Amino acid sequence: MKFNLKIWRQKNAQAAGKMVDYTIENINADMSFLEMMDVLNEQLIRKGDEPVAFDHDCREGICGMCSMHINGRPHGPLRGTTTCQLYMRNFTDGETIFIEPFRANSFPIIRDLVVDRSAFDRIMQVGGFVSVNTGQVQDANNIPVNKADADLAMDAASCIGCGACVAACKNASASLFVSAKISQYALLPQGRIEAQERVLAMVNQMDEEGFGSCTNTGACEAECPKGISLTNIARMNREYYVASIS
Amino acid sequence: MNKKSGTKSLFSTLIGKKMLMGLTGLFLITFLVVHCGINALIFFNDGGELFNKGAEFMGTNLLIRTMEIVLFLGIIAHIVDALLLTLSNNKTRIVKYAHQKPNANSKWYSRWMGLLGTLILMFLIIHLKHFWVISRFTDHIAHSELDKLPGQETMFAEMKEIFENPMVVLLYVAAMVSLAYHLMHGFQSAFQTMGWNHPKYTPAIKKIGFWFSIIIPFVFALMPIALHLGIIK
Amino acid sequence: MSVLDSKIPEGSLENIWSDYKSHVKLVNPSNKRKLEVIVVGTGLAGASAAASLAELGYKVKAYCYQDSPRRAHSIAAQGGINAAKNYKNDGDSVFRLFYDTIKGGDFRAREANVYRLAEVSASIIDQCVAQGVPFAREYGGLLDNRSFGGAQVSRTFYARGQTGQQLLLGAYSALSRQIGLGNVEMFSRHEMVELVNIDGKTRGIIARDLKTGKLERHFGHAVVLATGGYGNVFFLSTNAMGCNVTAAWKAHKKGAFFANPCYTQIHPTCIPVSGDYQSKLTLMSESLRNDGRVWVPKKQGDKRKAIDIPEEERDYYLERKYPSFGNLAPRDIASRAAKEACDDGRGVGESGLAVYLDFADAIKRLGKEVVEARYGNLFDMYKHITNEDPYKLPMRIYPAVHYTMGGLWVDYNLMTTVKGLYATGECNFSDHGANRLGASALMQGLADGYFVLPYTIGDYLSGEIFTKSISTDHPAFVEAEKAANDRIEKLLSVNGNRTVDDFHRELGKIMWDYCGMARTAEGLIKAKGLLSQLREDFWKDVKVTGSANELNIDLEKAGRVADFIELGELMVNDALQRNESCGGHFRVEYQDEGEAKRNDDEYAYVSAWEHKGVGHEAQLHKEALVFENIKLATRSYK
């Protein structure tokens, strides 16, 4: 297979960036998208050019490190998939592929396709936890949890923190990410104890980081590689109203 | 964890602002029901008799007049809030994507609520000038054909006159299309924003929202068309 | 005897740890505030340690090369975590977990360490549940368990197929809380490139800020390495792309002995290699073997489709060879059996390097919904990668490098041979012997971080309360930074013709061919020559683009591959000296009808290697393994 690539190149955070054209040939349909990028980078290095910097790590769709906005969509054309789980068979031979970083002011570009998503970490640091110290806990089965709630909590907890929700949202809202964490804890008895403080702190921090508001277009849910549901956002809102007025 | 005292007040956060959008939106939806219901009286095709009675009731009932003020406040809140949200959302992605396929993940009208809303607002200004201003601030409108003074018209007659102009009809129909799409997203979105999302009820809300967004604007749009074509006399 | 002192306290096995905890030296709260601890790596072992130490009051600095501590590769563990809770009432106990782990490790682990691991396993589950980890539950609201390889009880706790993710996010949440409280200073996108020792004690690290390329000096009264394993020495493995040995290797070069480097776990259920462009291998959780049946055709070279091969012409070789454990035979055994079948010409798929893992029976017995609930995400993942639907066709699987049991040598306190330098999790060698059982890596990482290190580090730090924070202008820091800088300059100045990946691929091929699933003395000797040649070629012919003072992915990789090559040489040496087969180390010369043949008389020891300079033979030290509580036996799963 052969592809025309249009890739965002930007030397560093301060430099101006631009889309640069590359052509790549002899690509196997069973290659993953990132393996195609590896091939491109090896070719660039052989020519003495600098490779395209991009984030990636586990390459099994779970660490959330890979990003990239491919052909107009975060994580590319397949639903429920991270970029690392995208295969070249999902593209057509000769196609032009646009590859851009996740774009949001809250995710500043570090280089090329690498963005800084530490805003998510900072949101977690103000409330994305249950305040228990190591060793001070009771036997696990002393906290029974209704199976349906446990399953919903697990659904929410599957979030990999990749930021596709922000990248897809017209307002660059982080609501899906934040609500997934709030939901996980709100649904479990362990998390209920400080649920109000948590939602107030995390929502506050989400605004501080400069993410936009949720306007319920559903783009985040559609692009989320883990299929995190919009119901989490409704739950966050509910939790937030109750916490604000009580 | 941070104590609650350090956090902002409800309406200063984006979620709080969205809540105001949702609440005012739902309120305006209830207004649409009333407005549409009263206006639909013209379809009795009784020369506007019932309709004129309805118009008189709306113009004189104290509760309705009070609600009118609340309604205007609601509209203003809805607009100002939308403006504030849009202004802050416009700052969240300064460098835009070179290539984007937004239709792959969302409906166009859910992304263009601001534009649809602006169209509706523009229509609203014209619409208010057509009917509300003359009925509240001039002596031009008579309560019925019987007690009409010289130079006066009933509301129904006024309507017929205004809709003689095909451009006005076109404008009204176009505005109702905007309203339909605005509601198509706004109705269920308001529920979601308010946190009323439940696996049992949400599908029903969405269905109701869908039909509401079609039926109400359709009935509204039918009025100028019917009057213009003389189907209603 | 040797210079190695494992510092295992005297006493009966059941009481060692509780006695130790009762008598270990403590640091009072006001002194803890003055003591700084560096934790490198934020996986299960690192994040849990950093959080727990910060909760105790130490000043902690944590480092990870990823953009966030939440990304560490612990996140990819799918199946579960073992704990001796006996919630299933099926006869589990601390001793049984201990015994299974020792036996699973082919009797090459320390009794006292493993017993402690089994002892604290139950607390881990308690801790994680309290943190809000959404473990699978039964309808009564209590925790569910599944069974795993190498055990006859159900003691594995799980969160769908994402147990590692949920446990890591739990540890990450605890870490985040401490960062928010200001007790941990977090350095993401930082890589440790040098260790700093002063007067025989570790006092800090040199870290490279990967965003800017700047080298930074960081002081700590103690340094904890929780940097994971070195499976990427094989180029293709189930490790994340960034997993590397650099931090551990720098420590090794600065005096920390490296133990049992040849013990490599080859996981039996991975998606087979599909082409030479492949960058990594994907694991399919061992839990799949609970319901999936492994088979190959009975006939050699049988190219029919799986569904066209009738039942009687299928060889369910694990069930046939190991009737009591069947498809749940331990990893090393299942992997070798797969290799044997493929070497015998009965492999499936285009390459012939795969066996079937078949769910047809399970779907018939349980229904598709149940199978989907148990393994849905794994099936999806398989489909994404192979474009085949495992609900209809059997999965094709093949063994792949997955985990490294070897690592930095540590004593009972988890301290390496350098004072003040600790190693936890996969980074150390301590608990899994020659083979790790499924669902035990998560257990060990969290045991070390939550429940062991926070106690044992106090024993050392109590002696450091008079040590003032050392200025990073100290000559040792200056020198270490210069060494790191020189190396970077050197990498950038070679300007040869071959890419870093090119070298990495060649390294991987040498290691897989000669130091992989089956090893021979002859092959290992050959590999030695190839590796030293490769090292020389690397420094003469590698091409690294860009500069030092920027985000430079090529340079990062080059530094890691350079260390992998040196490690490869050590692994080969270790494999060569161990004239026996045990666990993940299979020497073709030492077998009994295909089963590994241990030599307890001569090799019941831990090999710990002392670095003697690049290109020089490392010196071997032996720590004898003494088994007082269990009888050494041939490891049989028949």
| pLDDT tens for each residue of C205-247 | 999 999 999 999 999 999 999 999 999 999 999 999 999 999 9
**The amino acid at C51:** A
**C-alpha R_g of chain C:** 24
SS3 A218: coil
What is the residue range of C336's domain? 266-400
Distance in angstroms (rounded) separating the CA atoms of residues A21 and A96: 10
Measured between CB atoms, does C17 come within 8 Å of chain A?
no
* pLDDT value at residue B151: 84
Same domain (yes/no): C396, C274: yes
Bridge-based pairing state of the strands C59-63 and C36-40? parallel
Q: Answer whether residue C67 is part of any domain.
A: no
For A131, the closest of B1, B4, B99 (CB atoms) is B1
Same domain (yes/no): C386, C279: yes
pLDDT along chain A (246 residues), means of 10: 98 96 96 97 96 96 96 96 95 97 98 98 98 95 96 97 98 98 98 96 96 97 97 97 92
**Among B210, A44, A123, which residue's Cα sits nearest to residue C544?**
A44
CB contact under 8 A, B99 and A245: no
Distance in angstroms (rounded) separating the CA atoms of residues C58 and B104: 50
Q: Answer whether residue B129 is part of any domain.
A: yes
Quick check: ipTM above 0.85? yes
pLDDT at C500 over 90: yes
Distance in angstroms (rounded) separating the CA atoms of residues B113 and B182: 6
For A144, the closest of C130, C141, C274 (CB atoms) is C141
Last residue of a domain, one of C347, C366, C400: C400
Q: Answer whether residue C505 is part of any domain.
A: yes
Last residue of a domain, one of C365, C400, C435: C400
Structural domains in chain A, sorted by start: 3-111 (3.10.20.30), 117-245 (1.10.1060.10)
Q: How many helices (H) and strands (E) does chain B have?
A: 9, 2
Q: Answer whether residue B217 is part of any domain.
A: yes
pLDDT at C15 over 70: yes
Same domain (yes/no): C390, C273: yes
* pLDDT value at residue C376: 86
CB contact under 8 A, C275 and A30: yes
CB contact under 8 A, A140 and C125: yes
**Active-site residue C365, yes or no?**
no
In chain C, positions 296-335, which contact chain A (CB-CB < 8 Å)? none
Can you tell me the mean pLDDT for C549-574? 98
Same domain (yes/no): C390, C296: yes
The torsion of the CA quartet A163, A166, A167, A170, rounded to 10 degrees, works out to 170
Q: Answer whether residue C76 is part of any domain.
A: no
**Among C491, C268, C534, which residue's Cα sits nearest to residue C399?**
C268
* pLDDT value at residue C161: 83
What is the residue range of B184's domain? 13-86+108-229
SS3 C262: coil
Can you tell me the mean pLDDT for C51-57? 98
Q: Answer whether residue B1 is part of any domain.
A: no
Q: In what order do the strands lie in the sheet with C619-624?
A: C407-408, C258-259, C605-610, C619-624
Can you tell me the mean pLDDT for B94-109? 96
Interface contacts A/C by beta carbons within 8 Å: 224
In chain B, positions 111-140, which contact chain A (CB-CB < 8 Å)? 111, 113
Question: In chain C, what is the straight-line distance between the N-terminal and C-terminal CA atoms, in Å?
Answer: 38
Cβ neighbourhood burial of B225 (10 Å; 0-12, 13-18, 19+): middle
Q: How many residues does chain B have?
A: 233
pLDDT at C555 over 60: yes
Q: Which residue has the higher pLDDT, C303 or C186?
A: C186
CATH of residue B210's domain is 1.20.1300.10
Can you tell me the mean pLDDT for C327-349? 91
Same domain (yes/no): C490, C586: yes
Instruction: Give, in order, the Cα–Cα distances in Å from A7 to each of A97, A98, B131, C212.
Output: 8, 6, 56, 22
Asked whether the beta carbons of C394 and C289 are under 8 A apart, the reply is no
Can you tell me the mean pLDDT for B173-195? 97
Interface probe for B, chosen from A179, A202, A217 (most Cβ of B below 10 Å), is A217
Residue A153: its chain C contacts at CB < 8 A?
Answer: 132, 134
Mean pLDDT across chain C: 95
**Among C315, C318, C321, C323, which residue's Cα sits nearest to residue C288?**
C318
Q: Answer whether residue C361 is part of any domain.
A: yes
Can you tell me the mean pLDDT for B110-136? 95
What the block records as the tokens of A70 is: 């491919």
* pLDDT value at residue B6: 53
Residue A58: its chain C contacts at CB < 8 A?
Answer: 71, 73, 75-76, 240-241
**Among C547, C551, C572, C556, which residue's Cα sits nearest to residue C500?**
C556
Residue A49: its chain C contacts at CB < 8 A?
Answer: 545
- Name C401's bridge partners: C266
Last residue of a domain, one of C354, C381, C400: C400
- How is C437-452 classified by DSSP, letter by letter? PTT-HHHHHHIIIIII
- Residue-wise pLDDT for C70-82, tens only, equals 999 999 998 899 9
Q: Which of C108, C331, C436, C587 is catalytic?
A: C331
Distance in angstroms (rounded) separating the CA atoms of residues C53 and C166: 21
Q: DSSP letter at C533?
A: H
Measured between CB atoms, does C521 come within 8 Å of chain A?
no
Residue A184: its chain C contacts at CB < 8 A?
Answer: 132, 134
Quick one: which H or E segment has residue C363? Answer: helix C360-366
Q: Answer whether residue B214 is part of any domain.
A: yes
pLDDT band at B3; cut points 50, 70, 90: low
Asked whether the beta carbons of C158 and C79 are under 8 A apart, the reply is yes
Asked whether the beta carbons of B87 and B14 are under 8 A apart, the reply is no
* pLDDT value at residue C1: 45
CATH of residue C539's domain is 1.20.58.100
State the total domains in chain C: 2
Q: Answer whether residue C546 is part of any domain.
A: yes
Measured between CB atoms, does B92 come within 8 Å of chain A?
yes
Quick one: which H or E segment has residue C216? Answer: strand C215-219
- How is C400-431 classified by DSSP, letter by letter? EEEEE--EE---TTSB-SSBTEEE-GGGB-SS
A227: Cα separation from own chain's centroid: 11
**C-alpha R_g of chain B:** 21
Q: Answer whether residue B37 is part of any domain.
A: yes
* pLDDT value at residue B36: 96
Measured between CB atoms, does A211 come within 8 Å of chain B?
yes
* pLDDT value at residue B9: 81
Q: Answer whether residue C3 is part of any domain.
A: no
Distance in angstroms (rounded) separating the CA atoms of residues A66 and A56: 4
Asked whether the beta carbons of C427 and C227 are under 8 A apart, the reply is yes
pLDDT at B4 over 70: no
pLDDT at B121 over 60: yes
Angle subtended by helix axes B202-229 and B166-193, to nearest 10: 170
Can you tell me the mean pLDDT for C309-333? 92
State the total domains in chain B: 1
Q: Min CA distance, B88 vs chain A (Å)?
A: 7
Can you tell me the mean pLDDT for C313-327? 94
CB-based contacts of A16: which residues, under 8 Å, 6+ apart? A10
**Among C624, C632, C629, C630, which residue's Cα sits nearest to residue C5?**
C624
Q: Maximum CA pair distance of chain C?
A: 75
Same domain (yes/no): C277, C396: yes
**The amino acid at C122:** A
CB contact under 8 A, C502 and A42: yes
Distance in angstroms (rounded) separating the CA atoms of residues B186 and B180: 10
Can you tell me the mean pLDDT for B180-188? 97
Bridge-based pairing state of the strands C81-82 and C156-157? antiparallel
